[in-house]
Structure 1
Amino acid sequence: MKNILIFLTFSLILFGCNQKNEIKTLDLKTKSLHKKKISKVLKNWHQAASKADFNSYFDKMDDNSVFIGTDATENWNKKQFEAFSKPYFDKGKAWSFTTLERNIFINNTGDFAWFDELLNTQMGTCRGSGVLENINNSWKIKHYVLSVSIPNEDIEAVISAKKKNDSIFLKRFQK
């Protein structure tokens, strides 16, 4: 009887450990479908801005998302970004970003993804990057970073052009 109890206890422990270690991994076909859905979300997000469709644009962002713009002061939660953006959308002219290329990566369980994209914008060539989360089988933007791309041969001129504003901005962080 004692041997049976030991065997059952050992079997339950072993079975429990195997259950905990089993992580569902997406197959390539499922990852490809997720990438298509994510690409569509991002395409529609950019199109909503170009059409000044405020609700459609912000519906693609999660309630606790973050948008980081090109200015050092532009680190907004969704409500702050909505407040900043509303006047542009209300005038019927927000911004227009056309994707030139996009790379999407998905974790093995399919609950979050990250991406980078090269964009044609009114500011010239920019780069966007971000994170999306799969919430109830719907991809939501959690974090987006927009940056202006600067050719290496032009960086000295840009550094010089922004030197005055940077010195004023950096005073906020000095003690």
Structure 2
Amino acid sequence: MTVTKTKLNHCFIIEPKVFDDQRGYFFESYNKTNFEKETGLNPDFIQDNEAYSTKGTLRGLHFQKGEYAQAKLVRVTQGEVLDVAVDLRPDSSTFKEYISIELSAENKKQLFVPRGFAHGYIVLSNTAVFNYKCDNVYHKPSEGGIIYNDTTLNIDWILDEETFIISDKDKILPSINDLF
């Protein structure tokens, strides 16, 4: 696997080594030993989640606070999304900065999103299946979020905002400056 540092501290792009032949392909989607060696991090993933969504679905920007903060290793197994991670760690040199990356079944890239980050994505293809590993359990009282169209972050979600499909809950999230 190839691990690439992003501009955000402890946030990495993971590209697996893919073995193609006449039968199809094979790749190792996660190897704890190799992940730790390449990143210097040791998350203990305890849960895998999957979401199916249609084009224009925007999920995020979500995070969990305090002892329920979660690190995630995210990937797409069908379709394509624009994935976004926002550094919410006040002591970080990249506090209130974000990265975005296109993840797809075709490119097989993954993004490691550390604890202390908000995360979200928008579906670019007709449909997408989004998978992610978490290193902590979901705890509803600890959930938080940032509005997708936050003017401080100014995220380019690629698609026309009029086509977005957003949950009622995500439409009323606060701005990043209301949180910090």
Higher strand share: 2
TM-score higher than 0.5: no
Name the TM-score, length of structure 2 as normaliser: 0.27
TM-score by length of structure 1 reads 0.28
